[in-house]
Amino acid sequence: MTAPTDPPNPPHPQPPYSAPDTPRDLVGVGIGPCNLSLAALAHPLAELDAVFYDQAPAFAWHPGLLLDGSRIQVPFLADLVTLADPTSPWS
C-alpha cells in the first residue's frame, strides 16, 4: 500500500480535543491492517465521527519485518482499501 505523498485534505477540519467520554460513531483500538483500512474508508465520510487509538506514538508497517529497501511485502490488492474503493487516495 502506498500512501499519497501529500494526504488529501480532510473533508472536515480536525475537531478540537474532546473529553474521553464524548460519544463517537466509530472507535478503533489499534491501528493494524483492519483498522487502518477502516480509517481510510471512513476518511471521506464527514458525517461519521470516527477516532482511532494506538499505543504506539507513530505508525509503522511491520516494523523490523520488512526486507531491506522495501516498504511493503504484500500484493497491492491486499491493502484492504483498493477492492472496496479503487478511487481512494489511500490505496
Task: Specify the residue for cell string 465521527.
Answer: 49
Query: Nearest Cα to 84, choosing from 26, 28, 37, 30?
Result: 37
What tens digit of pLDDT does each residue of 17-69 get? 667 778 999 999 998 878 888 998 899 998 999 999 999 888 777 777 767 77
The answer to pTM > 0.75 is no
pLDDT score of 45? 92
Report how far residue 13's alpha carbon sits from residue 30's, in angstroms, rounded to the nearest whole number: 23
Per DSSP, helices labelled H in 1-91 are 33-42
